[in-house]
Amino acid sequence: MVAGFTRSAATSDARAQLYCWVVLAVVVLLLGDITEARNLRRATRHAHSSEGHRRAHLRSCGTIAGQRHILHLIERVCADCHNLYGSSTEAATIGYNCRQECYANPEFEVCMHQLLMGHRINEFRMLISMIQAP
């Protein structure tokens, strides 16, 4: 009879332990979803602020009519550099600085190097000068 009691207690302990593991797994999964949702909200906020910075910097570029394809190439460098750093405050700063003075700044060249595009700096300097023309 003692052996039967021990076996029953062991089965009960195993079930309790299994229940604890299941509850723990559910909690971990829920926390992961909550964290992912927060990160998505942050990324969306940064995307909107980045878009505002881009529009503000376009005012310093002079006339870009007919040269939107050039602007798209140049802007892609700053956007990719911004994305390289994720949703940190450093990313927002880099995206902002990359666009300063209509992209004619040292931060733009740093971004090009970080994106392994350093060999194309002279080409992009020429493109930048084209969109800066009045």
pLDDT, tens only, 21-58: 777 766 666 665 555 545 445 544 544 455 555 565 66
For a pLDDT cut of 90, what percent of the chain falls above it?
A: 22
C-alpha–C-alpha distance, residues 112 and 108, integer Å: 6
CA–CA distance from 82 to each of 86, 90, 133 (Å)?
7, 9, 26
Quote the pLDDT of residue 39.
47
C-alpha–C-alpha distance, residues 128 and 61, integer Å: 9
Instruction: Answer whether residue 63 shows pLDDT above 50.
Output: yes
Domains of the chain by residue range: 2-132
Quote the pLDDT of residue 60.
64
The whole-model pTM stands at: 0.56
CATH 3.40.1050.10 fits 2-132, yes or no: no
Q: 5 falls in which pLDDT band (50, 70, 90)?
A: low
CB 99 within 8 A of CB 110: no
